[in-house]
Amino acid sequence: MNIADLEKSLSSDYLKNEMVGLMARLYPICRSITGKGFRESLNIIDDYVSLSVVEVPTGTDVYDWKVPKEWNIKDAYVKNSKGKRVIDFQKSNLHVVGYSVPIHKTVSLSELKQHLITLPEHPDWIPYRTSYYKEHWGFCMSYNEMMQLEEDDYEVHIDSELKEGHLTYGECYLKGQTSKEILLSCHACHPSLCNDNVSGMVLVALLGKYLRSINNYYSIRIIIIPATIGAITWLAMNEGCVTKIKHGLVVSCVGDPGKTTYKRSRIGNAEIDRAVEHVLKHSGDEYHIMNFSPYGYDERQFCSPGFNLPVGSLQRTPYGRYPEYHTSADNCDFVRPEYLYDSFKKYLSVINVLENNRTYLNTNPKCEPQLGKRGLYDSVGGQSDKIIDQMAILWVLNYSDGTHTLLDIAEKSGMEFCLVSDAANALIKNRLIVASEETR
């Protein structure tokens, strides 16, 4: 089976249900850049795609950084003097500032407020905050609830642990015909935030599940890592192998209703950039293209100047551009299965272009070959899809000169890649073109 066949065989309803199911399992978990929540998430994803789990000890040097202590949390609350939990970690894991150190004491309202973070512009939402590299404790809550707190003595309790341990990441390798790789990188270090982290995990888990059965040219490597420190750690552990990465995408924010956005790799016109842009241009949907900037998610590390990998970022509304971003409103209502499914299909189409994008040589480069005697010339005409096919045949013949890939030809002709690829297949069968020396 190839990807085009896979695309045809997929049941959108079944797949959307799978997506919703996995999302519902992953959403409630309290993840951070280290700790049990991260491991639990990998464990769930392993039901869909087989993962190797790597544990890197606290203190390991990774380039300019060190792997931090491992953080775990059991419970946290703020109780008023009547014993009522006015802030309760059990209700939302966003209530605790990530990496808060353990605390148990009684404080006045004014002291408490020094440790409270709210979002006055969205007074019903709980913000999401962390303090990975500075020891600190704090709570996040909605502005409206904060305003209702009265003068009182408050019992503050964070039952967390910050100590030597490990940073964990998961990796899935789908072996293809060659060791050349397509990298899909997804961060999984946020607690109950659905578009920003859960949607990416769902997408890569199901891409992995379905691509497993495909006989790909490229090997596919999926990594599920904590953002920033995880990408840095992964690169430090795998520095020798990154030249195998021929194309890559950072997967995040793929389930919101916004239009699809592609942020180019630092290279800017790498094959992955051109493939994604081709797919989006022919998708019929609105989309947005951004140049690389050294701000965002883990493309920052993959595209740092010492690596400069051909890794872009295919998302919907990008990092920080939707109001729900990093708040309790980024929940399972904000992410819709139809958008997740649409993103899934676009990823598949991109991989399909990469898989089939080759350079061919016309075996009769002087003048056109006689198509009629090979049944490739539609002598009747009239059916518009047939006519397009024939145009694709002429384009592939004319530009199969060893310097144009099929994607080049698709772009030059204005045709969709699959039409050009179908024409190429017909010409290969008739020995009118042959694959040129391995150039990809």
Interface residues with a second copy (CB under 8 A)? 62-65, 131, 133-134, 228, 231-232, 235-236, 239, 266, 293-295, 300-301, 303-308, 362, 364-370, 372-373, 379, 391, 394-395, 397-401, 413
CB of 308 vs a second copy, minimal distance in Å: 8
Nearer to a second copy, 120 or 257 (CB): 120
CB of 369 vs a second copy, minimal distance in Å: 4
CB of 53 vs a second copy, minimal distance in Å: 22
Provide the phi-psi class of 63: left if phi over 0, else alpha when psi is between -120 and 50, else beta.
left
Nearer to a second copy, 51 or 371 (CB): 371
Nearer to a second copy, 83 or 240 (CB): 240
Q: Cβ distance 278 to 417 under 8 Å?
A: yes
CB of 310 vs a second copy, minimal distance in Å: 15
Rounded Cα distance between 96 and 139, Å, is 5
Give how far the C-alpha of residue 25 lies from the chain's centroid of Cα atoms, to the nearest Å: 18
247 is in an annotated binding site: no
Q: Strand pairing of 166-174 and 219-225?
A: antiparallel
190 is in an annotated binding site: yes
Q: Cβ distance 16 to 338 under 8 Å?
A: yes
Nearer to a second copy, 308 or 425 (CB): 308
Nearer to a second copy, 173 or 307 (CB): 307
CB of 165 vs a second copy, minimal distance in Å: 20
Nearer to a second copy, 186 or 254 (CB): 186
Rounded Cα distance between 171 and 219, Å, is 13
| Pure H helices in 307-363 | 337-356
CB of 295 vs a second copy, minimal distance in Å: 6
Q: Give Dmax over CA atoms of the chain in angstroms.
A: 92
- Listed in sequence order, the residues at least 6 apart from 317 whose beta carbon sits closer than 8 Å to its beta carbon are 195, 253, 256, 258, 259, 261
Task: State the DSSP string of 152-193.
Answer: -EEEEEEEEEEES-EEEEEEEEE--SSS-EEEEEEE---SS-
CB of 256 vs a second copy, minimal distance in Å: 23
Amino acid found at 51: L
CB of 99 vs a second copy, minimal distance in Å: 12
Summary count for the chain: helices (H), strands (E) = 13, 19
Rounded Cα distance between 271 and 174, Å, is 21
Amino acid found at 60: T
Q: Cβ distance 325 to 255 under 8 Å?
A: no
The strand pairing partners of 56, in sequence order, are 167
Nearer to a second copy, 44 or 361 (CB): 361
285 is in an annotated binding site: no
Nearer to a second copy, 364 or 383 (CB): 364
- Listed in sequence order, the residues at least 6 apart from 248 whose beta carbon sits closer than 8 Å to its beta carbon are 181, 182, 183, 184, 185, 265, 272, 302, 309, 310, 311, 312
Pick out the residues of the known binding site for Zn(2+).
190, 196, 326
Annotated binding site: 190, 196, 326
